[in-house]
Structure 1
Amino acid sequence: MLLTYLKASRDLCGTDSIIFSAALAVCRIMGAKVSTAGRATGQSSAIPAWRRRIEERIAKARALIGRLVRFRSGNNRPRIVRTVRMAFAGTNVSMSQPDIMQKLTERIDDLTWWWI
């Protein structure tokens, strides 16, 4: 019966659905518990994984920009200072440099242009 459905399948999405349905039927017959929580429902409202990852990166960049702007405005709380250090990790910029505010503005601009 599975072979009949697979021959009639026209695309990869259909083949995937057929195989998943067959596997789910076998699991139900055997009495095994199956979680379908991570499976796409096939609805057009489902957000693709690549878009979700990009949106998460943009959200993180916005949060970082917000903290850098707060530091530039004079907020020297430990969490903000840690974030500024993290933003300049791997560079030759240190917090004690006299032009740190200029470097900070450049970093904010770089992050802003990354996701625009």
Structure 2
Amino acid sequence: MNQKYSSVLALELAIYQVHEDGYEPTEKIVEFWKKYDINTIQNTINTVLKHAPAYRKSGNIVQLCHKQIFAVDLMRLLIAYFHIHTDRIDISQLDISDAATTQSSLDQLEITKRIHEFFGGIID
């Protein structure tokens, strides 16, 4: 496979993986935190931003700012999840159902579920 597209495929497969029998999100969280520390995550995000072709070649300052803002938001999210797990914070009462992005995310997961089931039916 072309190296250029392998990272895109890996991201797509991560999305479809949630529909596999036995998928356990808590296992993914534990695996992540066993694999990465906060400093490594920060350094990796910085490296990805600095070496992304669109980052270096783009003259679009809005696009560059969006990528940096997203990277910072992602870093904040990961640190928050880390604290939730290490401090044993109960998040069962969190409700994001009214967030504008929730329905869009649920719709996207439903689409990937149908695609996963379709290809799963072909393979079986």
Q: Same fold (TM over 0.5)?
A: no
Normalised TM-score (structure 1): 0.27
TM-score where L is the length of structure 2: 0.26
**Between structures 1 and 2, the one with greater helix share:** 2
Q: Name which one, 1 or 2, has greater alpha-carbon Rg.
A: 1
- Higher relative contact order structure (alpha carbons within 8 Å, sequence separation ≥ 6): 2
